[in-house]
Amino acid sequence: QEGDAAAGATVFKKCAVCHNIDSDKQKVGPSLQGVIGRQPGTAAGFKYSKAMTDFGAGKVWDEALLTTYLADPRGVVKGTKMAFPGLKDPKDVANVIAYVKTFSPA
Ligand code: HEM
């Protein structure tokens, strides 16, 4: 179901340690500006793990793929260098995706 972007902004504080979303500047993690609709592992100027670029072949980040990834990043992308255990509460996942969506056109 649809998430709540305002609630997602609070959840995103956990992500903001490593990710920008209101700019395309890379941090420890790639910028998530415009990530929805983008092929995994392709933000310009970010050095991804081989695991992430291999995972991304033929895929696009959409709500369904983000939902599985954010629940268990290291289970879904084995060998990813995203050192984050994932979000346990499915509501947090839906809400943070709704927030991330507001920074992705179309
Ligand atoms: C990659 C989301 C938390 C570090 C990614 C990607 C997404 C994402 C969608 C893939 C981006 C792409 O393909 O361009 C999130 C969200 C988070 C979160 C929504 C919070 C719920 C974190 C945290 C860290 C982190 C806390 C640092 C401790 C990274 C790194 C990558 C990455 C290093 C690249 C992974 C690789 O190349 O294997 N993240 N992330 N993320 N994230 Fe996160």
For residue 105, is pLDDT > 90? no
49 lines ligand 1 (CB under 6 A): yes
Write out pLDDT tens, residues 80-103.
Answer: 999 999 999 999 999 999 999 999
What ipTM goes with this model?
0.99
Residues 75, 8: contact at Cβ < 8 Å?
no
Query: For atom 10 of ligand 1, which residue has the closest CA?
Result: 40
Interval 17-62: pLDDT, tens: 999 999 999 999 999 999 999 999 999 999 999 999 999 999 999 9
For residue 82, is it left (φ>0), alpha (ψ between -120 and 50) or beta? Answer: beta
Domain ranges of the chain: 5-101
Categorize the per-residue pLDDT at 1 as very low, low, confident or very high, splitting at 50, 70 and 90: low
8 lines ligand 1 (CB under 6 A): no
* Whole-number Å distance between alpha carbons of 41 and 61: 10
Architecture of domain 5-101: Orthogonal Bundle (1.10)
Distance CA 63, CA 36 (A): 8
